[in-house]
Every structure is written in structure tokens, then in C-alpha cells.
Amino acid sequence: MCLPVVYTCIYGVDTLYLQKGPMPTTQIVKWGNSLAVRIPKPVAEEAGVREGDPVVIEAGAGEINVRKKQRMPTLKELVAQIRPENRYDEIPSGPERGKERLEW
């Protein structure tokens, strides 16, 4: 008795540019001793990047990925996020040693 064979296929589709037409293509060009890629304006706008923005470049087997570098928040921005509900009590760390003692 033979059982029927069932095939399952899962397709991944990049839909980023399906609504705007075909995905833009560009060429790698020489720039001094390096190589460069010109990013088309619609792609830069979609990614939210502009001239001077820091990016991270990662290379793998036959591909190069470029992504916008995450900005590090300033101390002022971090302190502004402190609320009573996200504050913690002091944690005991043992007796004072050296010049750790502060008098207020």
C-alpha cells in the first residue's frame, strides 16, 4: 500500500517595493582605493537615512548588508526616563573601603 506524497512549500517574498514597482538596482563603483554603492533616493527615504548618517556594514557569503547605526542616547535622555515605577532600592554592597564614604 502506497501513501500519497504531500509537498509543502514555503515562499519568502520581499514586499518592500512591490507597491512602488521593481526593486531598484545599482552598481558597485571605484571610489579612491575603495568601492562604493550609490543608494537611490527612494531607497534612502524608505530607510530613513541621509548624507552623513553612520551605517553598519556587514558582509556574508555573496551579500553585503548596510543598516543605519542605532544612535546611543545621551545621559540627559536616559535620566529623563527615570520614573518612580522604574527606580530600584539601594543594594547593599558591604562595608565601605577607601574613599567611598560620601557625606551629604
Domain assignment present for 50: yes
Give the CATH number for residue 50: 2.10.260.10
Domain assignment of residue 60, given as a range:
20-85
Give the pLDDT confidence of 42-101 residue by residue, as tens digits: 889 988 999 999 999 999 998 999 999 988 899 999 999 999 998 888 888 888 777 766
**Average pLDDT over every residue of 25-39:** 90
Say how far apart CA 49 and CA 59 lie, in whole Å: 20
Number of structural domains the chain divides into: 1
Extract the runs of DSSP E, i.e. beta strands, from 1-104.
28-31, 34-37, 55-60, 63-68
Domain assignment present for 72: yes
Domain assignment present for 97: no
Q: What is the pLDDT of residue 96?
A: 78
